[in-house]
C-alpha cells in the first residue's frame, strides 16, 4: 500500500491513494453542516457520559473529553475555529480538533457510535430547537392578531367569495380566521416535535453496537423522550424532517394567502389598509409608488419552502435501508426551510400590529357591493316566502339597483315592494351593515359579540399554551 499521499485519518486505513481533490470537495458537507456544531457537541458529551457510566471510558477520559469539547464550542462560537474541508463534515472536524487538543482520549470518543447515528441525533436536536423558536414566533403573531381583532371587532368590511363581494363581515372576524389557521400550524409542529424527540444514539452505523451501552441514559441526558426502537430505521429515515417541511409548507401557504390579502388591501383599488412605510419600498422611476415588498416576499418564499418539501420527499423515496450518503442532502433544504419560516413569521408578527386600518374604505366597499342581499332574502323567508323565491325577488331588486347605481338600502320602500309586496318599513333595519353582521350571532359567526368571544377564548388558549411548552424543554 502506497503511503505517499495523505489519506483521511478517520477512515483512511484501507485506502491506497488520497481522495481526488474534486471528490473531496464534492462529498464534503462541512460548508453547511458546521451550523450543527452546538448540537453535535451536546450529543458527544452525552455519549461520553454514557460510555463512562457503563465503564467504557474512565472518569479522567470523560473529563478530558468534556472539557475539550466545551473549549472547541467556545472557539467555534468566537470564530476562532478553522474548518477543514479535507475533514469532510462537522463531526470529523470536531473530533479531529478534540484529539489534537487532548490526545488519545479524543480518539476514544467515537467508541460505540457512528457518524450515522451521530448525524441523525444532531439533526433531531437542532430541529427541536428550531421548532421551539418557531412555535414562539407563531404565538407572538397570534397574540398580535388577537389584539388587532379585538380593536376591530366592530369594523365592517365586505367578505368575499370568488373575490366578489359576498356578505358583510367584521375585520376582527377576518383576522381571527388567520388566527385559526396558525393555531392548526402550531399544533402540527407540536406533533412533529413529539415524533422526532427520540434518540437515535446507539444505533451506530446501522445494526447497533457490541459495547454495553445504555441508550436510555444518553437519551435522557439530551432531553429525548427515550431511545428509538430500531437501529436501522434510526439512521436512515428523515421522515421527521419531511414532516417539519410539510408543516412549514402549510404554514407558509397560510402566510402567503394572508400576504395576498394585504397586498390587495393596500392597493389604491381597495385602500382597506396602509402598510407602515418601514415595511415597504419605493420605485426608482415612479415617485408615487409604495410597494408592499414584505408581504410579496413572504408570498414568493412560500414557493421555495414547498420546493424543499418536494426535494426531501424525492431524496427519500428511492433509498434502501439503512444509511445512504443521499441523506447528506437533507440539510440545506431543511436549514433553509427553518430560516425562511422564522423570517417570514417575524415579518408578520412585526407588521400586523402596525397595520393602519381604513375603516371608512372598508365600510364604503361593503355598502357598495349589495352585501346585504342575503339579509333581504332571509327577511322575506321570515315572512313566509320559500328561500328560492326570495332569492329570485332579491336578485331582481339588485339588478334594479345596479341599473340605477344605488345599493339596496338606497331604494325606496315602494321600489322594493315592486319585487316583493310584503316588504315593510322594518326592512331597512336588516339592510344596514350593522344589522347584517349582528344577526350572525352564533359560535363561529361574524357578529361583533362572537368576535369578542373568540378573542377571549384565544387569550385563554394562548395563556394555557405557554405553560406546557416550558415544561417540554
Cell of 170: 367584521
Half-sphere exposure of 257 (CA within 13 A, CB side): 13
List, by residue number, the catalytic residues: 162, 283
Chain centroid offset of residue 380 CA: 46
Which CB sits closer to ligand ARG, 241 or 258?
A: 241
In angstroms, rounded to a whole number, what is the distance separating the alpha carbons of residues 18 and 2? 10
> Which phi-psi region, left, alpha or beta, contains residue 444 (left: φ > 0; alpha: ψ -120 to 50)?
left
Which CB sits closer to ligand ARG, 249 or 328?
A: 328
Minimum CB separation of residue 29 from ligand ARG in Å reads 4
Minimum CB separation of residue 328 from ligand ARG in Å reads 4
Minimum CB separation of residue 108 from ligand ARG in Å reads 19
Minimum CB separation of residue 242 from ligand ARG in Å reads 15
Half-sphere exposure of 66 (CA within 13 A, CB side): 15
Q: Whose CA is closest to 411, among 419, 424, 401, 423?
A: 401
Minimum CB separation of residue 89 from ligand ARG in Å reads 4
Chain centroid offset of residue 29 CA: 26
Contacts by 169-173 with C-beta closer than 8 Å and gap 24+? 169/437, 169/446, 170/437, 170/446, 170/447, 170/448, 170/451, 171/357, 171/359, 171/362, 172/148, 172/448, 172/451, 172/455, 173/149, 173/446, 173/450, 173/451, 173/454
How many other C-beta atoms can be found within 10 angstroms of the C-beta atom of residue 53? Answer: 15
Minimum CB separation of residue 318 from ligand ARG in Å reads 16
Half-sphere exposure of 417 (CA within 13 A, CB side): 9
Which CB sits closer to ligand ARG, 32 or 211?
A: 32
Which CB sits closer to ligand ARG, 50 or 119?
A: 119
Residue with cell 339579509: 375
Which CB sits closer to ligand ARG, 33 or 237?
A: 33
Which CB sits closer to ligand ARG, 176 or 311?
A: 311
- Given the rule CB under 6 A, which residues bind ligand ARG? 29, 33, 89, 115-116, 119, 323, 325, 327-328
In angstroms, rounded to a whole number, what is the distance separating the alpha carbons of residues 456 and 42? 41
Amino acid at each position: 500500500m502506497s503511503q505517499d499521499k495523505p489519506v483521511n485519518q478517520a477512515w483512511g486505513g484501507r485506502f491506497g491513494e488520497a481522495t481526488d481533490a474534486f471528490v473531496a470537495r464534492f462529498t464534503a458537507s462541512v460548508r453547511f453542516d458546521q451550523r450543527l456544531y452546538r448540537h453535535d457537541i451536546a450529543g458527544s458529551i452525552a455519549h461520553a457520559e454514557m460510555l463512562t457510566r457503563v465503564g467504557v471510558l474512565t472518569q479522567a477520559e470523560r473529563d478530558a473529553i468534556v472539557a475539550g469539547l466545551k473549549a472547541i464550542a467556545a472557539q467555534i462560537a468566537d470564530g476562532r475555529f478553522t474548518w477543514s474541508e479535507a475533514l469532510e463534515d462537522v463531526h470529523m472536524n470536531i473530533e479531529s480538533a478534540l484529539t489534537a487538543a487532548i490526545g488519545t482520549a479524543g480518539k476514544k470518543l467515537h467508541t460505540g457510535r457512528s457518524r450515522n447515528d451521530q448525524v441523525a441525533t444532531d439533526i433531531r436536536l437542532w430541529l427541536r430547537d428550531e421548532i421551539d423558536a418557531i412555535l414562539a414566533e407563531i404565538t407572538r403573531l397570534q397574540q398580535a392578531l388577537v389584539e388587532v381583532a379585538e380593536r376591530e371587532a366592530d369594523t365592517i368590511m365586505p367578505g368575499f367569495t370568488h373575490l366578489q363581494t359576498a356578505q358583510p363581515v367584521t375585520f376582527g372576524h377576518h383576522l381571527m380566521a388567520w388566527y385559526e389557521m396558525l393555531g392548526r400550524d402550531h399544533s402540527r409542529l407540536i406533533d412533529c416535535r413529539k415524533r422526532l424527540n427520540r434518540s437515535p444514539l446507539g444505533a451506530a452505523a446501522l445494526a447497533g453496537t457490541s459495547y454495553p451501552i445504555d441508550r436510555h441514559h444518553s437519551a435522557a441526558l439530551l432531553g429525548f423522550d427515550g431511545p428509538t426502537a430500531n437501529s436501522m430505521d434510526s439512521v436512515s429515515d428523515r421522515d421527521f424532517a419531511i414532516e417539519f417541511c410539510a408543516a412549514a409548507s402549510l404554514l407558509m401557504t397560510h402566510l402567503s394567502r394572508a400576504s395576498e390579502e394585504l397586498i390587495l388591501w393596500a392597493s389604491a383599488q381597495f385602500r382597506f389598509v396602509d402598510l407602515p412605510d418601514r415595511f415597504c419600498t419605493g420605485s426608482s422611476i415612479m415617485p408615487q409608488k409604495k410597494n408592499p415588498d414584505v408581504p410579496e416576499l413572504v408570498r414568493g418564499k412560500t414557493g421555495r419552502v414547498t420546493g424543499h418539501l418536494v426535494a426531501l420527499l424525492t431524496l427519500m423515496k428511492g433509498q434502501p435501508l439503512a444509511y445512504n450518503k443521499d441523506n447528506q442532502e437533507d440539510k440545506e433544504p431543511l436549514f433553509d426551510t427553518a430560516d425562511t419560516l422564522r423570517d417570514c413569521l417575524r415579518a408578520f408578527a412585526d407588521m400586523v400590529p402596525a397595520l393602519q386600518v381604513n375603516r371608512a374604505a372598508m365600510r364604503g366597499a361593503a355598502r357598495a357591493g349589495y352585501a346585504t342581499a342575503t339579509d333581504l332574502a332571509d327577511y322575506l323567508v321570515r315572512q313566509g316566502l320559500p328561500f328560492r323565491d326570495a332569492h329570485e325577488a332579491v336578485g331582481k331588486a339588485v339588478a334594479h339597483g345596479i341599473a340605477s347605481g344605488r345599493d339596496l338600502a338606497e331604494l325606496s320602500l315602494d321600489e322594493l315592494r315592486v319585487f316583493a309586496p310584503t316588504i315593510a318599513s322594518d326592512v331597512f333595519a336588516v339592510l344596514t351593515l350593522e344589522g347584517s353582521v349582528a344577526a350572525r350571532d352564533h359560535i363561529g359567526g361574524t357578529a361583533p359579540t362572537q368576535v369578542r368571544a373568540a378573542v377571549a377564548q384565544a387569550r385563554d388558549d394562548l395563556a394555557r399554551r405557554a405553560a406546557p411548552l416550558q415544561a417540554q424543554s
